[in-house]
């Protein structure tokens, strides 16, 4: 019985192994069939997807490329203004124009005269080849060569596509010319990147001759366009502080009359001039405006203000006075300029100094007189 059972068990194991081998073979066959089917499926749909997406399919895939067209986009840049003033914050507006053109074309292959689908495919290709000069997906990066003088606060713009002979929307670049920027010409660089349609090919279809398959090739181009920006003085009128009277004030003093001597060192007159005093914290203005009808070149004038000094003002400190000038010149109205002056706050211990000096002088005189009288006696 034991021998019979062992024989049966071994027979069952053998049949199980055979079934397992058959199952593995079937599984491998199924995997092979699935992989082959997937490859055939992808090979049938990828060309169609490439046609729709404009993917770069090799030219040898096509039976005909009827035309070869030459020419590319050519972008130029122009500004709404090319001059700004020292210390001015403004928005520089740029416009791009596409001056590209088709320079020439050649016929690679003539469509057969007796094949309507080839004639329609060739016409379709020639129509599409004209789009070669369209600049697509344009990006603009504006930079200043001298960033210590010009600060471009937003440097990128994306105008989209520009066809031949057309212009872009207005591109805005906020920027500032620093106050210390010297008058003169400053170079801006516009780096422009875009794509364009390098070639087109069509493949005729007997079933739908009016709608052949279209294949596109694209390439990228970059242009670097230099732009000159002129920084000018805010005005031909320019102001210089000559002196401040008095030069020192006491802590806690009130109603101090401050006289500031100013000179127009520019080459243009300043009209309707109003000077406003803006002192540092610790000094307070009771009269902060001093008008001057006209200040000619090289002419001087005196500005009058009234100041109070805080009791908490720091003795020995030089306090800054900012004098703001609002005026017109021969070219522009509503101009603004400013200059700086300084006042020193004296220590409270020095209030007695003039009286002490006078007392010492009188005492010295009395001693000299007494000595002389003693000698005579």
For the chain, give every domain's residue range.
Answer: 2-53, 60-232, 239-346
C-alpha 273/C-alpha 200 separation (Å) is: 67
| Inter-residue contact 142 to 154 (CB < 8 Å) | no
pLDDT of 116 higher than 90: no
Q: Which CATH class is domain 239-346?
A: mainly beta
pLDDT surpasses 80 at 108: no
User: Per-residue confidence at 112, pLDDT binned at 50, 70, 90?
Assistant: confident
Banded pLDDT at 125 (limits 50, 70, 90)? confident
Please determine whether the domains at 60-232 and 239-346 fall in the same fold group of CATH: yes
Taking the C-alpha atoms of residue 309 and residue 348, their distance in angstroms, rounded to an integer, is 12
Task: Give the C-alpha separation, 74 to 222, whole Å.
Answer: 10
Over residues 134-148, mean pLDDT: 95
Tokens of 30: 């199924």
For residue 354, the model assigns a pLDDT of 57
Which range, of 6-10, 270-274, 304-308, 367-371, averages the lowest pLDDT?
6-10
- Of 36-50, 89-103, 148-162, 300-314, least confident by mean pLDDT is 36-50
Cβ count within 10 A of residue 66: 21
What length does the chain have?
377
Give the residue, 361 or 291, on which the prediction is more confident.
291
Most confident of 54-68, 112-126, 286-300: 286-300
pLDDT score for 376: 59
Percent of the chain with pLDDT over 90: 50
Q: How confident is the model at residue 150 (pLDDT cuts 50, 70, 90)?
A: very high
Residues pairing with 243 in the sheet: 261
Contacts for 193 with CB less than 8 Å, ≥ 6 apart? 138, 139, 141, 220, 221, 222
pLDDT in tens, 8-26: 344 444 455 555 555 555 6
Give the pLDDT score at 47.
Answer: 45
**CB of 118 within 8 A of CB of 62?**
no
According to the model, what pLDDT value does residue 252 have?
92
Assign domain 60-232 to its CATH superfamily.
Immunoglobulins (2.60.40.10)
For residues 263 and 297, is the Cβ–Cβ distance under 8 A? no
- Using the predicted structure, report yes or no on whether residue 46 has a pLDDT greater than 60: no
Question: Which pLDDT score is estimated for 350?
Answer: 47
Q: What is the mean pLDDT of the chain?
A: 81
d(CA 208, CA 48): 15
Mean pLDDT across the stretch 281-300?
A: 93
């Amino acid at each position: 019985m034991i021998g019979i059972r062992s024989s049966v068990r071994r027979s069952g194991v053998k049949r199980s192994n055979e079934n397992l081998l058959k199952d593995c073979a079937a599984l491998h066959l199924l995997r092979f069939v699935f992989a082959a089917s997937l490859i055939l499926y992808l090979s049938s749909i990828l060309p169609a997807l490439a046609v729709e997406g404009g993917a770069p399919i090799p030219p040898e895939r096509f039976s005909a490329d009827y035309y070869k067209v030459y020419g590319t986009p050519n972008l130029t840049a122009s500004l709404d203004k090319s001059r700004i003033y020292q210390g001015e914050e403004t928005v520089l507006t740029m416009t791009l124009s596409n001056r590209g053109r088709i320079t020439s074309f050649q016929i690679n292959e003539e469509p057969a005269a007796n094949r309507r689908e080839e004639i329609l495919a060739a016409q379709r290709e020639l129509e599409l080849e004209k789009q070669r000069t369209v600049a697509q997906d344009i990006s603009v990066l504006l930079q200043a060569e001298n960033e210590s003088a010009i600060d471009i606060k937003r440097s990128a713009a994306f105008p989209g596509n520009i066809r031949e002979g057309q212009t872009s929307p207005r591109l805005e670049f906020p920027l500032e010319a620093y106050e210390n920027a010297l008058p003169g010409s400053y170079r801006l660089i516009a780096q422009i990147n875009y794509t364009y349609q390098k070639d087109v090919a069509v493949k005729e279809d007997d079933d739908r001759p009016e709608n052949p398959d279209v294949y596109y090739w694209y390439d990228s181009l970059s242009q670097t366009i230099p732009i000159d920006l002129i920084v000018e003085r805010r005005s031909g009128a320019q102001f210089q502080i000559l002196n401040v009277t008095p030069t020192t004030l006491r802590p806690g003093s009130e109603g101090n009359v401050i006289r500031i001597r100013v000179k127009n060192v520019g080459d243009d007159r300043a009209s309707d001039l109003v000077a406003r005093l803006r002192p540092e914290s610790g000094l307070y203005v009771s009269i902060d405006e001093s008008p001057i009808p006209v200040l000619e070149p090289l002419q001087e004038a005196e500005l009058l203000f009234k100041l109070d000094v805080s009791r908490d003002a720091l003795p020995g400190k030089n306090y800054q006075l900012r004098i703001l000038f609002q005026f017109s010149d021969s070219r522009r109205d509503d101009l603004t300029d400013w200059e700086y002056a300084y006042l020193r706050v004296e220590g409270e211990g020095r209030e007695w100094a003039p009286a002490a000096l006078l007392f010492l002088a009188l005492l010295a005189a009395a001693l000299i007189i007494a000595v002389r009288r003693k000698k005579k006696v």
